[in-house]
Chain A
Amino acid sequence: MVEFKINGKKVQAEKGEILLDVAKREGHEIPTLCHHEKLGSDGRCRLCVVEIHRGSRRRFVASCLYPVENGIDVYTDSRDVLLIRKTILELLLARCPGSDTIKNLASQYGVFDVRYTKDTDKGKCILCGQCIRACESIVGVSALCMSGKGPEKKVTTPFDEPSEVCIGCGACAVICPTGHIYIEDKDGYRTIWRKKFELARCPKCNRFHAPIEQLEFISKKTGVDMEELLICQNCK
């Protein structure tokens, strides 16, 4: 058990617990963009940064990764923390002017416009990495990666080629906080990340419901017969 303070209020937590979780439990609001309850975080967006004092030492940490410690004083709304949040949101808004998620969050923190030249080539991707983690840890295929560095960094498939392992499940698109990932289901085909998948047709309702490759993947993993998987959720 460790004891420390958040915004002046004494709190207790298990040793090794992550600060963000404790803060949320105690009712302190900290915005996040790259953290996911199940998948954790790599500390990419930095929106969750808070101020920590220990003795005379002052530091700023990503609360989504920081294991709590005895005797620290945490401030989630200090002047510097607010400056950091506003700055990050303005920077993300300049990068993704078309993202409603970012627009809404930014306006909550008083950022309505940007002082920079707006990007036109980044889409809505804020490089939070959640899609990559979902694909790797939930789906288990690792079809996505980041490539490039600095401003050129982007999420893509290896070598920007249609991925051999992608099963077209769309988990990445579901998890993406900004809706950057585009799935097109048309005429019995799904297109995602430059790869085209044939969709399975439910033998009962005749509806296209999931990529055949995905069903085969599930069948292989779970041992459930393809016949059974071809039947859509509604008709089961």
Chain B
Amino acid sequence: MNITLEQLDTISLRYIDAMSKYSKIIKICCGTGCVSSGALKVYEELKRVLTDRGLIDEVLVKKTGCHGLCERGPIVVLGDEEILYQSVGKRNINEDITALLKTIGENEIVDRLLYQGEDKGKRYISPRDIPFYAGQKRIVLSLNGIIDPEDIEEYISKGGYRALYKALLMEPEEIIEWVEKSGLRGRGGGGFPTGTKWRSCRVAHGDIKYVVANGDEGDPGAFMDRSLMEGNPHSIIEGMIIGGYAIGSNQGFIYVRDEYPLAVNRLIKAIESARSYGLLGKNIFDSGFDFDIKIFRGGGAFVCGESTALMSSIEGKSGEPRAKYIHTVEKGLWEKPTNLNNVETWACVPHIINKGWNWFASIGTPNSKGTKVFSLVGKVKNTGLIEVPMGITLREIIYDLGGGIREDKKFKAVQTGGPSGGCLPEAYLEMPVDFDSLTRLGSMMGSGGMIVMDERNCMVDVARYFLKFLVEESCGKCTPCREGVRRMFEIVNRICNGEGKKGDIQHLEELAHAISLSSLCGLGQSAPNPVLSTIKYFRDEYILHIEDKKCPAGVCKALIKFSIQPDKCTGCMRCAMECPVKCIKGAKKEVHVIDSTLCIKCGTCYDVCRFNAVTIE
């Protein structure tokens, strides 16, 4: 039996009806972050206690996907976004369960569990009031943290798979036109127009074609795609079926890294349930269109996110990129026309079909439409995943959503675009965040990493950090990337160690230029970005390292010396207590002194002194 629209409606009504029987709904985030901080224990324990008290038929406890507040997990949401609790059960599970029961039973709000930013400022009750949330525009993540990702019926009850139904009544050509007109561009980093890609793949010769979702997400520390795959797998699947129909493909693949076991499991479950509801398989919605999806687990190399490496990895070969003089839309997987999109790109598609291309095109900037998910981390007060309309400025993200710099220190730079992105200084805070603006400045939007840095981040050291990652992640196939990036590291490392030479900057620029022009794939081509952008905007800092042998941020150990200014020291003893090697001497209310022969230059004293008495030379 094939599924019909009426059946979707029946499922929705049945689901909504079933929910209305509960007097309270408690949603426990069971994304990777919250699970690792103990969410499952909270879930089990709360269910147990509710059963003991005979409340389990009145109160529904369910699991949801990630809210993007993983650092403050486990996150628990009561009702329909009414109350959000953070770090539930982290310190004392019994106390927190009791607190939850109080809120459930007596509607009493427990202050200490309410959301609070990194700076321990004001607490908020509803997620709607939290500035970190309020400034967002959630489309792709609209159901993240709201629905149970393992329950296809809940997805359906929220309007799921209606876009697919609608799309299958459209001509494939018309769908492609909609996607083109929507202005959707790839979310995986390149920003290539999605409709154009679909069209090239549709017109490519071949009876067998493939569509692939890229869920490799190799950027260190990024978890945008993971949260989406874990939190709303059906939105990706629905997008892929629509894409398959538009392009003329009956087989999809989702490439997920093996280090994302929860995402893999949720996707497998989602695919199985979609199959059992007739949403994957033969003759979907009686349209005559067949489509199925296979999961492929990747080894997790950064380079395997690159399109040709990803395809060779699915084919069972080594994950090395190859020349793309013949595009993968013509010859991709097993030499067949293949359309690869990032998982977030796929998840935009059902929204475009549901609400129309003009709705999507009304969000964002002239050349970058829709929203983008970022992972905002570093020295901001509020960290986590955010989905914002394109065109929002860096300042709005960092100061309104992020709440500004921690301890109200001075902003120094924001690194965007993942390991091969770039660092932008304060002068560009008013820059709109979209594909083209950031690229023009020598950085990029990439897949959505955003790291905020303050005066205590050394930009040469930052460049060194990303280079190190890229040296290790280069697949080693081509000379400029394999040999060149490690030599860039060698030079930058030398500079950080106080052995910089005159001419190093020029040498770096020249080497970077050659590497980016001649490398085989995007990894090598963009690997010099972290160095080039820091040289571009923080040249003085490089010069200070090289010529004056100084690290103004106080990070490069070979170049710094910490000392205490006698006139400012109040003898509060704080630094002496916190120093990990106990090399600060001084009695109460007396001037303290650092023994520089023992000092390991960790900078703890500098960071903890409340009287700015510690200086870096």
Give me the interface of A with B, judged by CB distance under 8 Å: 42-47, 49, 60-62, 65-67, 80, 83-84, 86-88, 91-92, 94-95, 115-117, 126-127, 145-146, 148-153
B510 contacts partner chain A, Cβ-Cβ < 8 Å? yes
Of B59-67, B271-279, B483-491, which binds chain A?
A: B483-491
Distance, CA A180 to CA B475, complexed state (A): 21
13 contacts between A and B (CB under 8 A): A42-B322, A44-B478, A45-B479, A46-B480, A62-B520, A87-B518, A88-B480, A88-B483, A88-B514, A116-B487, A149-B301, A149-B475, A151-B474
B472 contacts partner chain A, Cβ-Cβ < 8 Å? yes
Indicate if the CB atoms of B322 and A149 lie closer than 8 Å: no
- Sorting the interface of chain B by its residue count into under 10, 10 to 19, 20 to 34 or 35 or more gives 20 to 34
Q: How far is the CB of A236 from chain B (nearest CB, A)?
A: 41
Q: How far is the CB of A42 from chain B (nearest CB, A)?
A: 7
B593 contacts partner chain A, Cβ-Cβ < 8 Å? no
Q: Which of B347-382 contact A (CB under 8 A)?
A: none
CB < 8 Å neighbour of A95 from B303, B323, B483, B515: B483
* Contact digits for B447-482, partner A, Cβ 8 Å, 1 yes 0 no: 000000000000000000000000111111111101
Q: How far is the CB of B493 from chain A (nearest CB, A)?
A: 11
The 9 A-B residue pairs with the shortest CB-CB distance in the complex, in nearest-first order: A153-B476, A87-B514, A91-B483, A84-B518, A150-B474, A60-B517, A49-B518, A46-B518, A65-B323
Indicate if the CB atoms of A62 and B323 lie closer than 8 Å: yes
Distance, CA A198 to CA B473, complexed state (A): 41
User: What chain A residues lie within 8 Å of B507 (beta carbons)?
Assistant: 115
Indicate if the CB atoms of B476 and A46 lie closer than 8 Å: no
Q: How far is the CB of A91 from chain B (nearest CB, A)?
A: 4
Indicate if the CB atoms of A150 and B482 lie closer than 8 Å: yes
Q: Contacts A60-B517, A80-B517, A116-B490 given: A42-B483 contact, CB under 8 Å?
A: no
Give me the interface of B with A, judged by CB distance under 8 Å: 301, 303, 318, 322-323, 325-326, 471-480, 482-484, 486-487, 490, 507, 510-511, 513-515, 517-520
Q: How far is the CB of A40 from chain B (nearest CB, A)?
A: 12
Q: How far is the CB of B170 from chain A (nearest CB, A)?
A: 34
User: What chain A residues lie within 8 Å of B518 (beta carbons)?
Assistant: 46, 49, 60, 84, 87-88
Distance, CA A65 to CA B478, complexed state (A): 14
Q: Contacts A87-B514, A115-B507, A151-B486 given: A46-B323 contact, CB under 8 Å?
A: no
User: What chain A residues lie within 8 Å of B490 (beta carbons)?
Assistant: 116-117
Indicate if the CB atoms of A126 and B479 lie closer than 8 Å: yes
Indicate if the CB atoms of A146 and B480 lie closer than 8 Å: no
Indicate if the CB atoms of B479 and A43 lie closer than 8 Å: no
Indicate if the CB atoms of B474 and A94 lie closer than 8 Å: no
Q: How far is the CB of A151 from chain B (nearest CB, A)?
A: 5
